[in-house]
Structure 1
Amino acid sequence: MGESGDEALTPAGRLFLQEETKQVINCVIGLKNPIDVELVKSEVRKSTMLQHPRFSSLMVRDERGVEHWRATQVEIDRHFRIIKEALGEEGDERAINGYLAELSIDFDGLSMDKPLWEIHLLMAHNCLIFRIHHALGDGISLMSMFLASCRKLNDPQALPAIASPSNISYPPFNFWNLLATLWFSFLFVLDFILRCFWVRDPRSSITGGAGVELWPRKIATATFSLQDMKTVKTAVNATINDVLFAVISCGISRYLDFRAPNGLRDGVQLTGLAMVNLRKQPGLQDLSNLMKSNSGARWGNKFGMILLPIYYHRSNFSDPLEYLKRAKATIDRKKRSLEASFSYKIGDFVMSTLGPKFAGLLNYRILCHTTFTISNVVGPQEEIMIGGNPITFLRANNSALPHALILNMVSYAGRADMQVQVAKDIIPDPEFLAKCFEDALLEMKERVTAKI
């Protein structure tokens, strides 16, 4: 049994410690000015982060192999890795992405004899990489904690504003809408269950599979203007997530045209696995609210998964706005279903009854049976600073998965950066794939503005 005062890990936290599903989140922070190492350490020592028990606890196992958090004394210097020399001569972005690609397959980089986080300082590139084990929390929790240590650039005493969720219109409650919810839930939950066991995507030139999480990685960055995304979404009464999904669908079709023009049947389905925040209040949360154990928006891993099908169409014969219409229709149906909540609840049930090994196996199988992963975290829409140093960009990615393609988007101050992580032996040119995504948005914007 654990010692008195130990806190048991949540089922989701235990899942992220399994060999098949071990995950580390890498938060990438670009800074305008050179890094003052001692100032960064001082900011960490007085930060809200160290007041949170998970960031000052060891992960220990009792004699039954059950994991617990055990409070410990944090030795700040052990959590810092300082890289003084430049990481190549190809510019900051390529150097940082190259370093992140190495971290994405460094599964043992976070030592279990200290709390499961680290800060890497890339001195020559004015970049800070905050590595956090996924067992500590999800992207919403971690972004909220990060913002608690930042201040507005134009008001140094003020905390960054927490983004309020946009108003989501739900259909009125009546028999037919209830029937639609039950029908979509049945279809999508059945599809989810079948994916866990038997159904898999057809092979393509971006398909991963079992063992691919161990393959060498490359990372590129696709950058989007949020104003361009808003222009496109307004024209068809869509959302930013609709536009993002359409951009991914269109961009992948463009890439497949280049890589395997005769290898796929037109209209073939490839499937993405998307993470959905399930807190009662969507969007970023006030940190004090997250840390309350009785809060509906509490700290931890509180997300479900949904399957997002995309359809390959030859670029020469397809209108990019058709991708947006299909994306909006798909996501609207997903919103009316209980698929995300079901995936969270069934995962929690399997972890609690059959144990983390079986739950990890199911998660691994659904990854092997789909083609890519996508996540989107909303960051502050105003410029901020940390320790008095203005932040130039925010990005995120995670440890490699059996997928050969992993997409992680974070928005900040009018732009959105999407990290395109690939298994380089399957997708050798992620820079070209990133450009396919960027061009897809620009072409959608051109089509929209031409119709105005």
Structure 2
Amino acid sequence: MSSFNIEGGVEDEPVSPTGRLFLQAEVDSVINCAVGMKHPIDLESAKAALKDSIMMQHPRFCSLYVKDKHGREHWRKLDEIDLDKHIIEKNMTKDSDHSSSDDDDEETINEYLADLSVSSPLKTDKPLWEIHALKAQKCFILRIHHSLGDGISLMSLFFSCCRQVGHPDELPNIPSASTSVRKRGVFKKMLRFVLMVLLSLVYVLKFVVKTLWVKDEKTVIRGGSGVELWPRKLATAKFKLEDMKLVKKVVHNATINDVLIAVVSSGLTRYLDLQSSKKTKDGLQITGLAMVNIREQPGLQELATLMKNKSSTRWGNQFGFVQLPVYYHKYVNDPLQCVRRAKAMLDRKKLSLEAHFSSRVAQLVMTLLGPKATALLNYMIVCNTSFTISNVIGPQQEIMFAENPITHMRVNLTSLAHAITMHMVSYDGNAYMQILVAKDIIPDPQVLVRLLFNPKDSQMGWAENTQSCYL
């Protein structure tokens, strides 16, 4: 049901069920995206580029979040957006005792993002987004409320405001996730269908049990109730996509996500060995939580397609949760064994309907019991698992915003009850992972970064050991 803005005579649009979930105090979630620029920031050029962009035409970005007298939540479209209220200039002056290196800038930006993740909700007297301009560090920070859309929608919207370097009239090219279509006989199709049903039943049952009762065992990396309010630290892992591609070539039909989960599994094992005062039992399950895009067409889509109301590729929050169990294994003789384990687990997850089930259940609970009950279930599953992880594919060529080339893009969310959240974005041949931690649980996230991704410190020796196996 819609209500009406009597003053303007404009019909308000009801907030979607998932949007209502993200607006609950228990879930209140903001996406923070740090965008590094090659040249100094020109705010007037940035404002001009925004005014002419599709972002200013999108209803979610020019509407207020309001409640009517019955407490129902709506989006109320504004006639005009005052960009001065949304673009916030920050003068993060550099310490004269330190050099103005890229590492210093990265540390300053990460400290700023870590503070934002626990202490700066978006104000509701304007549309739920803003841009912080850190001029000294040549960095924009886009802050967008999760109720406006998921990562696929919001990244598509941002890229619509950018152009390719050297081709100012062309939008960025976003590679879609590869989906190989193989011809199968009737028997193989039936077998695949039976496996899908069986795996879905198993994973759905595990999902319900994990949400309502069973928690991961307490370790030095697990958070829990109340941890979302704890102070944060943020570290960045940077690496070449070619290194990950080299690893995945060794294992037949492996993907970047298989390699990523394998690296995380190995790194967490080493971190537990380093930090735990008591012996960790072999085979201990450490459960991750991932948001999975459930649109029919995978990958980042063109914005025009996402905004069509009747399109199967819809704008907004179109995702489901998937649990990703990884295991502590102290002794790993084969550096590719973790990749094979991760691939086997993820192949089963892809075949099942776990993500679709979690999405449908959330919608059903929202309809029957309302957003507070849905938020409670969402909070419970976060408290019962150990970490959050995501991976979004970005442009693989250099792009620019307001004619200023972009050097990197990094994404993280406001704090969850997890002590570790990991979000990876690839851009121009590189991958950037933001690792946000509760600093009272993990005081030095740089140690975790080295254990995860530095071949010299890693037991796996990913790029070096795998290269010798492959060649």
Q: TM-score, normalised by structure 1?
A: 0.97
1:92 and 2:105 correspond: yes
Aligned with 1:432: secondary structure? helix
Query: Which amino acid in 2 is paired with 1:350?
Result: V
Separation of aligned partners in 1, 2:110 and 2:84: 25
Separation of aligned partners in 1, 2:239 and 2:388: 19
Query: Which amino acid in 2 is paired with 1:449?
Result: Q
Matches within 5 A, 1:116-135: 116-135=128-147
Matches within 5 A, 1:111-150: 111-150=123-162
Separation of aligned partners in 1, 2:142 and 2:40: 17
CA separation of 1:234/1:169 partners in 2, compared to 1, >3 Å: closer, same or farther?
A: farther
Alignment partner for residue 46 of structure 1, among 39, 46, 52? 52
| Cα deviations by residue, 1:240-276 (Å, 9 ceiling, x for unpaired) | 1111111111111111111116342111001000111
Separation of aligned partners in 1, 2:181 and 2:207: 26
Question: Does structure 1 retain, via aligned residues, the 8 Å contact 2:273–2:280?
Answer: no
CA positional deviation for 1:309: 0.4
2:468 maps to what in 1? 450
2:77 maps to what in 1? 71
Matches within 5 A, 1:238-249: 238-249=254-265
1:19 maps to what in 2? 25
Separation of aligned partners in 2, 1:42 and 1:350: 43
2:369 maps to what in 1? 354
Alignment partner for residue 381 of structure 1, among 386, 396, 402? 396
Matches within 5 A, 1:363-378: 363-378=378-393
In structure 1, stretches of 5+ residues that fail to align are: none
CA positional deviation for 1:99: 0.2
In structure 2, stretches of 5+ residues that fail to align are: 5-9
| Cα deviations by residue, 1:219-243 (Å, 9 ceiling, x for unpaired) | 0001121001111111102001111
1:2 and 2:9 correspond: no
Moved over 4 A (4+): 87-90
Question: Does structure 2 retain, via aligned residues, the 8 Å contact 1:219–1:421?
Answer: yes
Query: Which amino acid in 2 is paired with 1:205?
Result: V
Separation of aligned partners in 1, 2:75 and 2:274: 49
CA positional deviation for 1:87: 5.8
Question: Does structure 1 retain, via aligned residues, the 8 Å contact 2:289–2:323?
Answer: yes
Query: Which amino acid in 2 is paired with 1:328?
Result: K
Alignment partner for residue 286 of structure 1, among 302, 308, 331? 302
Alignment partner for residue 80 of structure 1, among 84, 87, 98? 87
CA positional deviation for 1:164: 2.6
Matches within 5 A, 1:249-288: 249-260=265-276, 262-288=278-304
CA positional deviation for 1:450: 1.2
RMSD between superposed Cα atoms in Å = 1.5
Matches within 5 A, 1:300-379: 300-314=316-330, 317-379=332-394
| Cα deviations by residue, 1:9-46 (Å, 9 ceiling, x for unpaired) | 11111100111111000111000000001111111111
Matches within 5 A, 1:190-201: 190-201=205-216
Separation of aligned partners in 1, 2:125 and 2:333: 54
Query: Which amino acid in 1 is paired with 2:21?
Result: L
Question: Does structure 1 retain, via aligned residues, the 8 Å contact 2:174–2:396?
Answer: no
Identity over the aligned pairs, expressed in percent? 51
Separation of aligned partners in 2, 1:346 and 1:259: 38
Question: Does structure 1 retain, via aligned residues, the 8 Å contact 2:177–2:298?
Answer: yes
| Cα deviations by residue, 1:104-157 (Å, 9 ceiling, x for unpaired) | 00252x110100000000010000001000000011111111111111112122
Query: Which amino acid in 2 is paired with 1:100?
Result: L
Separation of aligned partners in 1, 2:250 and 2:194: 30
Matches within 5 A, 1:152-301: 152-169=164-181, 172=184, 174-237=189-252, 238-260=254-276, 262-301=278-317
Question: Does structure 1 retain, via aligned residues, the 8 Å contact 2:382–2:416?
Answer: yes
1:404 maps to what in 2? 419
CA positional deviation for 1:50: 0.7
Query: Which amino acid in 2 is paired with 1:253?
Result: T
CA positional deviation for 1:170: 6.3
Query: Which amino acid in 2 is paired with 1:221?
Result: T
Aligned length: 450
Separation of aligned partners in 1, 2:119 and 2:183: 46
Q: TM-score, normalised by structure 2?
A: 0.93
Question: Does structure 2 retain, via aligned residues, the 8 Å contact 1:22–1:107?
Answer: no
Separation of aligned partners in 1, 2:181 and 2:271: 35
